[in-house]
Amino acid sequence: MKDSALGANVPAAEPSGNPKVLCISTVAFALGFAIWGMFSALAPFLIKWYSFTSTQVLILAAMEPLFAAGISIPLGIWTDKFGGRTVFTILLVCLSIVLILGTFAESYIAFLFLGMMLGLGGASFVVGNAHVSSWYPKSKQGTALGLFALGNVGITVGMMAVSFLITSVLDTSDPDGWRMIFPIFAIPTLGMAAIYMFFTSDPPNRKLKNTSVKEIFAVYRSGVVVWLVPALYWVAFGTLVFFASTMPTYLVDFWHVDPTTAVAVYTPILVVCVAVTRPLGGWLADRRDVFTLLSWMFGAMSILAVL
């Protein structure tokens, strides 16, 4: 609420949008996803360099999405409480520190811990999603979040960058030469943290939320939709994460595809197809019944899965 010129209390105006926040958030999200996909890209090479088994590298690749899923809940709570600008900046700084520490990983246990912490890159989706949403009215959120979701292409960029660095830039004849990948990714991550801090903002009418944990989890007692939507998202986005995480290792191990081709060609095709259709999905969600769209989408997925 705020005072009008006549002294009466009127509701604060709803933000109409913020293209700058949308653009910077999308780039930051893409960078987070590029880091998130690092171990998926490194997996085929780690088998060669460290004699890890396929199972071991698949577990490494799985650590990132598992940790991202777990940390997303507190990150969402903190974003509501402290604002997307602050939380996203801190997340990017933490990611840059983890990347620098990754240079010193030696044992499989250290790689597991590193993979888990790099899951922060995947969790950037939650923070950016909430930050963008806070700047757009409900009538435009579908389109805005669809454009924001283009950041998924970051997985492709990250995989192609890792492949390019290993095959064309870094001295992999040195057993530790490949480790320069981590500081190379850390530099733009730290730069993006500074950009996010100084060039984005939270809505002027944003209210600090001191919601208790009990009140937060009370939402799950409000109806079946609260359970249904996350379940559908788990199936849809989980499919993307599963294939993006396991496809490089699967193609190399079972189909004997060259690691560079698996990482830089076949897997990115999948991710790009998903990323470029997300704005269309968001645009349709602003104009059509959401549950009708979901019914058609999951029906098509089921048919294609059988085929």
Percent of the chain with pLDDT over 90: 45
Is residue 247 situated within a structural domain? yes
The CATH number for 97's domain is 1.20.1250.20
* C-beta atoms surrounding 144 within 10 Å: 25
What are 274-284's pLDDT values in tens digits?
888 888 888 88
Mean pLDDT of 165-189: 91
How far CA 206 is from CA of 24, 81, 131, 135, in Å, comes to 19, 10, 11, 9
Is residue 117 situated within a structural domain? yes
Is residue 276 situated within a structural domain? yes
* C-beta atoms surrounding 71 within 10 Å: 18
Is residue 136 situated within a structural domain? yes
Question: Looking at residue 281, what is its pLDDT?
Answer: 87
Is residue 4 situated within a structural domain? no
Is residue 11 situated within a structural domain? no
HSE-CB for 155 with a 13 A CA cutoff: 36
pLDDT tier at 3 (50, 70, 90 boundaries)? very low
What are 61-87's pLDDT values in tens digits?
889 888 998 999 899 989 988 999 999
Instruction: Please check whether residue 282 is in contact with residue 145, taking contact to mean a CB–CB distance below 8 angstroms.
Output: yes
Name which of 89-103, 178-192, 194-208 the model is least confident about. Answer: 194-208
Structural domain boundaries enclosing 251? 18-203+211-306
Question: Looking at residue 4, what is its pLDDT?
Answer: 44
**pTM, full prediction:** 0.85
What are 105-127's pLDDT values in tens digits?
989 999 999 999 999 999 999 99
Name which of 19-23, 102-106, 161-165, 219-223 the model is least confident about. Answer: 219-223
Question: Looking at residue 288, what is its pLDDT?
Answer: 86
What are 220-250's pLDDT values in tens digits?
788 788 888 888 888 888 888 888 888 888 8
Is residue 6 situated within a structural domain? no
Is residue 233 situated within a structural domain? yes
The domain total for the chain is 1
pLDDT tier at 6 (50, 70, 90 boundaries)? very low
E-strand ranges in the chain read 2-3, 9-10
Question: Looking at residue 279, what is its pLDDT?
Answer: 85
